[in-house]
Amino acid sequence: MKKLSVFFFSALFLFGCTTDNQTTDSAETVTDDTEMMATEDTMTTDDAMTAGSDAMTAGSKDIVALASETPSLSTLVQALQAADLVGALQGAGPYTVFAPTNEAFAALPAGTLENLLKPENKQQLVNILTYHVVEGNVKSTDLTNNMSAKTLNGAELKVMLDGSSVMINEANVSTADVEASNGVVHIIDKVMLPPSEM
C-alpha cells in the first residue's frame, strides 16, 4: 500500500501541449505487473494527440511539478495532496499517469469531490487516484486497440483506438505524451472509477 501511495499520482496527471522527446525503451519499462496485451491496430505517432490549452516545458520536471504548473490540473494536484501521493509521484518511477482535468473532476456527482477530499475518505481517494497510474513509461505509440494495462490500484484499464481517437475505459485522451523526468502523462476528460468504487 505504501508503494502504491508513493507512486500514484494521478495518479493523475499533469500536462500540456508541448513535449520534449526522450528516448525510452518501453519494452524495459512495461513490467510483468503492468503487462499490456496488444491485440490489434497499434497507434501511430501521427495519431497521438498533442493539442492542449496549457503549454508546459516537459521532460525536466517530475509528474507532480508538471501538474502543479498546469492550471487545468489543479484539482488533481489538490487530490494528490489530500491522498498523500505527492511524494510517490515525485519518485524515480517511471510512471504513466492518465490525468483528469479540473472539468473531469467537476463532472462528478455533486458533493463527490468534497467528500473524497475529507481525511476520513483518504483510502477511497487513494484507490481512485492510483487507478489512473500504470507502472512504466507507456507512450501513445505503445498503445494498441483492446490492450489492457494493470494500474497501481491493481485493477486493469482498457485502451480503445478509433482512428485518431484514444479512449482509456470511458475517458477520452485530450493530450498525449507529456513527458516528465519520471514518466509520461496523458490528459483525460473523465475521472475513472475502479471497479471497487462503482
- The string of pLDDT tens digits covering residues 60-74 is 888 888 898 889 999
Instruction: For residue 61, give the CATH number of its domain.
Output: 2.30.180.10
Q: pLDDT tens digits, residue range 115-160?
A: 999 999 999 999 999 999 999 999 888 888 999 999 999 999 999 9
Q: Give the pLDDT mean for 23-49.
A: 35
pLDDT confidence bin for 198, thresholds 50/70/90 = low
Question: Which is more confidently placed, 148 or 25?
Answer: 148
Task: Please state the pTM of the whole predicted model.
Answer: 0.70
Number of H helices, E strands in the chain: 8, 9
With 0-12 / 13-18 / 19 or more C-beta atoms within 10 angstroms meaning exposed / middle / buried, residue 198 is: exposed
Domains: count for the chain:
1
Domain residue limits at 137? 2-34+50-142+173-191
* 45 in a structural domain: no
Q: pLDDT tens digits, residue range 76-106?
A: 999 999 998 898 888 888 999 999 999 999 9
Per-residue model confidence (pLDDT) at position 91: 82
Alpha-carbon distances of 82 from 38, 46, 76, rounded to whole Å: 35, 37, 10
| Enclosing H/E stretch for 112 | helix 112-116
Residue position matching grid coordinates 471497487: 196
Per-residue model confidence (pLDDT) at position 197: 63
* 109 in a structural domain: yes
